[in-house]
Amino acid sequence: MREILRFHPLYQERVWGGRALATSLGRALPAGDPIGESWEIVDRPEAQSIVQGGAHDGQTLRSLMARHPADIMGPAWPGDRPFPILVKWLDCRERLSLQVHPPAAVAAELQGEPKTENWYIADTAPGAELIVGLRRGVTRGQFEQAIRDNTVEHCVHHFRVAAGDSILVRSGQVHAIDAGNLILEIQQNSDTTYRVFDWGRAGLDGQPRQLHVPSSLRSIDWTDFEPAPMRAAPTSGVIADCAEFRIRRAVLGAGERLHLRAGEQPRLLSVVSGTVRATGEGGGTRAPFGLKLNRGDNVLAPLAGAFTFSAEATTIMLVTENFSG
């Protein structure tokens, strides 16, 4: 398998979502309730990415992982092991709930999955914020009292963001995304979220959304105070590095190229601004013209293939790697 894999997005209705995936990324969204998430690359029992175009058009990521694990991930990867990363776009028209994902040490006890994730801010409204971690000095007892008093907002760490900023949110860090942010989320393959507080909001059905306070309190890292984001920069460099993955920002001027050699490792490529042409060995994954990737596109480059990404204008790509164990 030596072809770049591109997938159909899976759109998810969310009470806090909107239509920014259409207005900012040019997507054709389904009509109806607000769209908060687009699952771009996913291999889970309840959600499967389906290949869009090319030799594997219409096949699921799971079927490809089962038949070609060595080509996609490497010779040691079992065919029944899921793809380890989930990539999403988040349109946060309203603030998300205050939540936490369980750390590995307690996830099994709570029958959940750990989830470390990285947020890249593609667009943001003036004054929009993120919430990650606790305010310095806040204790578990103070936090629990604040839940009862509806004053949790004063216990968590707020900071403003701009387009191009990012932050790594580890399992155990309490967090929320403020209204007005369009975010590319690259995360462990997990869908375990515990809501600790939801600002008094009702769900799409008009009823209060379920909270998971005991599980949240068990999961929160009570020593995590005021983490700092990675601020936007006009240069290439690593923006996130953890045990689960590494993300590099690749800034390409018009005509510049990014080369991936065959046999190194699988990688995910995310275009967050600009446009590139992706070609492979022998001239292209879609010979003779190659595959055009625009802002918002996310693709999987299997380990077995060699690929070149050529920028048509100034382009920023995120390269996710080091996730194959």
Residue type at 117? E
Q: Are 248 and 238 a contacting pair, CB within 8 Å?
A: yes
Per-residue tokens: 23: 């207005």
62 catalytically annotated: no
- 3-state SS track over the chain: CCCCEEECCEEEEEEEEECHHHHCCCCCCCCCCCEEEEEEECEECCEECEECCCCCCCCEHHHHHHHCHHHHCCCCCCCCCCCCEEEEEEEECCCCCEEECCCHHHHCCCCCCCCCEEEEEEEECCCCEEEEEECCCCCHHHHHHHHHHCCHHHHEEEEECCCCCEEEECCCCCEEECCCEEEEEEEECCCCCEEEECCCCECCCCCECCCCHHHHHHHCCCCCECCCCECCCCCCEEEEECCCCEEEEEEECCCCEEEECCCCCCEEEEEEECEEEEEEHHHCCCCCCCEEEECCCEEEECCCCCEEEEECCCEEEEEEECCCC
Per-residue tokens: 252: 């390409």
**CA separation for the pair 15, 1 (Å, rounded):** 40
Q: Name the catalytic one among 195, 248, 249, 286.
A: 195
- Residues labelled as active-site residues: 195
